[in-house]
């Protein structure tokens, strides 16, 4: 199975939106490769004709009436946001911030 | 005078109904010891005395009016009415903190009650506070909490297991008679084993997870801790059942048998007669401590002595469980934890100049090392080019693991009996440097989550003075039978000497100057280096 290079670790950290220090990246490179070594055993299991299991109980789709219901008050929803303005959540610039 | 904290919940319920004790007295007794001893145990992340006493007074009012009605009104009261309970700090209680053991949720206040919180309020249980846990339930020792580790009341320099270590330690130390945990790969059963109490993971879908902080959504399940089987069953009864806000919660009826387990040991023991139990040979894994294996084999012999038919069986894909779990769980976690972006809730770190920079800073500094490791693993396993090799492969092997169990249910086994944890409680720091050694703690529990089955850990004696757990595993929705078997085992070991032994280090928790678990971990890590 694959081995992760330092560049791979940096790439995955970026995908995961984790800002990691040099020290963390170095430590993770070793640890992730050690863990991936343990995964190698799975390649030995024949699974060509086996269906994947995503969840274990056989529930059919569960539907409910599509009716409006009271939701949480705006103040309650916004109470945990880091930055708000009236009934809005303030987000840092997404475009043109470079 | 009786120490009220030594009573089981059903003993408390009897006294409450007789008017011999009030819920306020019970609640105060538990709050007092929890507040006094938390410095040395760190089982609690928050204790809300005011709210708990208000709930206790409301419970006392309900008890009083039932008594005044003089009819059968009191028999309709739920056994959890007026009983103090601890909740793992990932269960939402409106207006209260809910950290999930993570600094990223420091300061967050839950805007609504979880389904199980509503259920507990409905039956009138008294919520004492919230308990410590591995960050986002990722861990087997509670050392990965962002708020310092929890100690094991049996040995304060050892872990209580995890991730629900605070809920387990609180019950073992008599800070609460019952508590709630969650189990994704063993996080209820393993800490129950390591602290000498009962802990059950119900069938996937048995309890609604609405209002619970998610870790791995195809595996997570809520369940009870207690010091005896009847209490665990009654707490499960209170929280179980269909809730339309969790589409994975099942319409399967909650068995009323959960409240009808035999009180008499003689009667309970008869339930073992003729039961067919499988003993999976693969669960006696390499690295299992001889003392643990001895206690488990003695437990199996006791079951046979009581008339159960025990047959050695094979679950041939067990050896792939660990690798499968450590792909599926991190993959699901990496998706679930994407929501912690510092925008809508949780801490926001960074300079506020651009959204990507804030994400990186918030998540990079807000999450602890184990969470970052799992998010990295999961992101990698789901990333382009690796999805088939890892995640899809793991889901296929999961089918085989589940199939192993299904074959035994089809063969007519009533349950399986196995060790819960291959070792007793380990010392602080012993497995922190090597994630793979920590992951091995759950080798005997995580296949049960992979297959969505109910499992229970019950005490089965001591090895070197530390508790050992016996695990019973059942077919889907067989909680009532599993609890009946567990109650039977409890009955046939009721007079065993080890049952009279209380956690060794309880007295040390009252000594002035007892170090905090964080201080113990720091000093032991220093010794190791």
Contact B489, B296 (CB under 8 A): no
DSSP string of B161-192?
-SSSHHHHHHHHTTS-SEEEEEESSSTTHHHH
Is residue B223 within a helix (H) or strand (E), and if so which, with residue range?
strand B221-226
Residue among A18, A39, A51 whose CB faces B364 most closely:
A18
Give the active site residues of B.
Answer: 88, 163, 187
CB B157 within 8 A of CB B520: yes
CA distance B23 to B299: 36
**3-class SS at B128?**
strand
3-state secondary structure of A82: coil
Q: Residue B516: name the closest of B149, B47, B122 by CA.
A: B149
> Other CB atoms closer than 10 Å to residue B41's CB: what's the count?
29
- C-alpha B449, offset from chain centre: 13
Residue B143 · residue B432 · CB < 8 Å = yes
Query: Quick one: which H or E segment has residue B310?
Result: strand B309-313
In a domain, A10, yes or no: yes
CB within 8 Å of B44: residues ≥ 6 apart = B34, B38, B86, B129, B130, B131, B132, B166, B170, B175
Chain B CA closest to residue A71: B112
Task: Round to whole Å and give the CA distance between B160 and B209.
Answer: 24
pLDDT (0 to 100) of residue B293: 97
pLDDT score, position B435: 82
Whether B319 sits inside 8 A of A41 (CB atoms) is: yes
Task: Tell if the CB–CB gap between B353 and A59 is shorter than 8 Å.
Answer: no
The span from the CA of B291 to the CA of B460, in Å, is 11
Q: Is residue A56 part of a domain?
A: no
* Residues pairing with B127 in the sheet: B85
Query: Which residue in B286, B174, B301, B258 sits closest to B456, CA to CA?
Result: B258
ipTM for the whole complex: 0.94
* Confidence bin at A96 (pLDDT 50/70/90): low
Specify the pairing of strand B415-419 against strand B309-313. unpaired
Domains and CATH numbers, chain B: 4-270+475-528 (3.90.1300.10)
Nearest to A18 among B345, B352, B363 (CB): B363
- Mean pLDDT (whole number) for A33-45: 92
Burial annotation B407-419 (CB, 10 A radius, 16+ → b, else e): ebbeeebbbbbbb
Cα–Cα distance for residue pair B211/B489, rounded to 1 Å: 34
CB pairs under 8 A between A and B: 176
Q: Which residues contact B278 (CB under 8 A, 6 or more apart)?
A: B310, B311, B312, B313, B408, B413, B415, B416, B417
Answer yes or no: do B109 and A45 touch at CB < 8 A: no
The reply to whether A72 falls in a domain is no
pTM above 0.80, yes or no: yes
CB contact under 8 A, B380 and A32: yes
Contact B248 A55 (CB under 8 A): yes
Do residues B453 and A57 touch, judged by C-beta distance below 8 A?
no
Q: Is the CB of residue A56 less than 8 Å from the CB of residue B402? A: yes
CA–CA dist B337, B363 (Å, integer): 10
Nearest CA in chain A to B321: A42
Tell whether A57 is covered by a domain.
Answer: no
Cβ atoms B263, B494 nearer than 8 A: no
Instruction: Out of A38, A56, A76, name the one closest to residue B111 (CB).
Output: A76
Beta strands at B44-47 and B126-131: parallel, antiparallel or unpaired: antiparallel
Compute CA B102 distance to the chain's CA centroid, rounded to the nearest angstrom. Answer: 18
Token digits for B172?
């073992």
CA distance B526 to B529: 5
Token pair belonging to B248: 């994975």
Chain A residues in contact with B439 by the CB 8 A cut-off are 38
Contact call for residues A98 and B353 (beta carbons, < 8 A): no
- The answer to whether residue A23 sits within a structural domain is yes
- A32 contacts B343? CB cut-off 8 A: no
Residue B1's pLDDT is: 60
Q: Give the mutation candidate from A39, A64, A66 for the B interface (greatest B CB count, under 10 A).
A: A39
pLDDT digits (tens), chain B, 529 positions: 679 999 999 999 999 999 999 999 999 999 999 999 999 999 999 999 999 999 999 999 999 999 888 666 666 899 999 999 999 999 999 999 999 999 999 999 999 999 999 999 999 999 999 999 999 999 999 999 999 999 999 999 999 999 999 999 999 999 999 999 999 999 999 999 999 999 999 999 999 999 999 999 999 999 999 999 999 999 999 999 999 999 999 999 999 999 999 999 999 999 999 999 999 999 998 889 999 999 999 999 999 999 999 999 999 999 999 999 999 999 999 999 999 999 999 999 988 889 999 999 999 999 999 999 999 999 999 998 899 999 999 999 999 999 999 999 999 999 999 999 999 999 999 998 888 888 888 999 999 999 999 999 999 999 999 999 999 999 999 999 999 999 999 999 999 999 999 999 999 999 989 999 999 999 986 655 4
Do the chains contact at B111 and A24, CB–CB below 8 Å? no
CATH number (domain holding residue A35): 1.10.20
Q: Considering the domain boundaries, does residue A96 fall inside one?
A: no
Q: Which residue of B has its CA nearest to A34?
A: B436
Looking at the complex, report in whole angstroms how far the Cα of residue B241 sits from the nearest Cα belonging to chain A.
14
Cβ within 8 Å, pair A92-B353: yes
The tally of domains found in chain A comes to 1
Q: Which of B489, B86, B39 is nearest to B305 (CA)?
A: B489
Q: Is B50 exposed, middle or buried (0-12, 13-18, 19+ CB in 10 A)?
A: exposed
* B363 vs A: CB within 8 A: yes
A55 versus B332: which is more confidently predicted?
B332
Query: Which of B242, B155, B156, B258 is CA-nearest to residue B200?
Result: B258
A97 occurs within a structural domain: no
* Shortest alpha-carbon distance between residue B218 and chain A (Å): 5
Specify the 3-state DSSP secondary structure of B279.
strand
Host domain of residue A22: 6-44
- Expressed in angstroms, the distance from the first to the final Cα of chain A is 38
| Rounded CA separation B3/A92 (Å) | 56
Closest C-alpha to B134, from B162, B112, B156:
B162
Query: Best residue in A6, A7, A12, A24 to probe B by mutation, most B CBs within 10 Å?
Result: A12
Q: Residue B400, Cβ neighbours under 10 Å: how many?
A: 18
In a domain, A88, yes or no: no
Tokens 């007669």 appear where?
B273
């Amino acid at each position: 199975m694959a081995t992760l290079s330092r560049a791979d670790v940096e790439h995955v950290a970026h995908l995961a939106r984790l800002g990691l220090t040099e020290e963390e990246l170095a430590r993770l490179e070793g640890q992730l490769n050690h863990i991936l070594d343990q995964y190698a055993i799975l390649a030995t299991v024949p699974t060509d004709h086996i269906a994947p299991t995503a969840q274990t109980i056989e529930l059919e789709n569960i539907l409910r009436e599509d009716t409006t219901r009271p939701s949480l008050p705006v103040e309650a929803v916004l109470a945990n946001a880091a930055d708000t303005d009236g009934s809005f959540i303030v987000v840092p610039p997404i475009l043109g911030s470079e | 005078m009786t120490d009220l904290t030594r009573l089981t919940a059903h003993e408390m319920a009897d006294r409450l109904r007789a008017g011999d004790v009030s819920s306020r007295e019970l609640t105060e007794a538990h709050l007092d010891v929890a507040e006094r001893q938390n410095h040395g145990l760190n089982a609690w992340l928050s204790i809300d005395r005011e709210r708990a006493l208000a709930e206790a007074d409301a419970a006392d009012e309900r008890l009083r009016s039932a008594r005044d009605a003089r009819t059968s009104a009191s028999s309709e009261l739920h056994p959890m009415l007026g009983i103090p309970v601890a909740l793992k700090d990932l269960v939402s209680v409106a207006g209260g903190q809910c950290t999930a053991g993570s600094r990223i949720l420091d300061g967050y206040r839950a805007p609504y009650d979880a389904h199980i919180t509503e259920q507990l309020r409905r039956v009138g249980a008294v919520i004492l506070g919230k308990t410590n846990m591995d960050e986002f339930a990722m861990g087997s020792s509670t050392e990965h909490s962002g708020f310092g580790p929890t100690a094991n009341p049996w040995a304060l320099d050892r872990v209580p297991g995890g991730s629900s270590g605070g809920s387990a330690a609180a019950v073992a130390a008599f800070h609460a008679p019952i508590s709630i945990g969650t189990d994704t790969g063993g996080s209820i059963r393993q800490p129950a084993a390591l602290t000498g109490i009962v802990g059950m993971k119900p069938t996937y879908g048995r309890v609604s997870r609405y209002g619970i902080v998610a870790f791995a959504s195809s595996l997570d399940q809520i369940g009870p801790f207690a010091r005896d089987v009847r209490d665990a069953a009654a707490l499960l009864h209170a929280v179980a059942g269909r809730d339309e806000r969790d589409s994975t919660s099942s319409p399967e009826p909650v068995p009323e048998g959960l409240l009808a387990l035999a009180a008499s040991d003689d009667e309970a023991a008869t339930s073992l007669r003729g039961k067919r139990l499988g003993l999976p040979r693969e669960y006696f894994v390499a690295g299992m401590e001889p003392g643990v294996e001895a206690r488990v084999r003695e437990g199996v012999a006791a079951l046979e002595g009581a008339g159960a038919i025990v047959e050695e069986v094979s679950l041939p894909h067990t050896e792939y469980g660990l690798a499968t779990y450590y792909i599926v769980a991190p993959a699901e976690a990496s998706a679930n934890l994407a929501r912690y972006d510092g925008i809508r809730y949780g801490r926001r770190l960074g300079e506020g100049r651009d959204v990507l920079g804030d994400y990186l800073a918030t998540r990079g500094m807000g999450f602890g090392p184990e969470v970052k490791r799992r998010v990295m693993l999961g992101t990698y396993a789901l990333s382009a080019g690796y999805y088939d090799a890892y995640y899809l492969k793991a889901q296929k092997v999961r089918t085989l693991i589940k199939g192993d169990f299904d074959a035994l249910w089809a063969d007519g086994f009533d349950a399986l009996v196995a060790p819960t944890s291959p070792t007793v409680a380990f010392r602080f720091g012993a497995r922190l440097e090597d994630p793979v050694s920590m992951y091995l703690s759950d080798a005997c529990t995580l296949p049960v989550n992979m297959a969505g089955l109910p499992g229970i850990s019950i005490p089965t004696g001591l090895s070197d003075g530390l508790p050992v757990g016996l695990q019973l595993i059942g077919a889907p929705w067989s909680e009532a039978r599993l609890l009946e078997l567990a109650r039977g085992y409890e009955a046939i070991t009721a007079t065993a000497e080890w049952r009279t032994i209380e956690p060794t280090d309880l007295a040390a928790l009252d000594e002035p100057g007892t170090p905090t678990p964080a201080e113990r971990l720091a000093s032991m890590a220093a010794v190791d280096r």
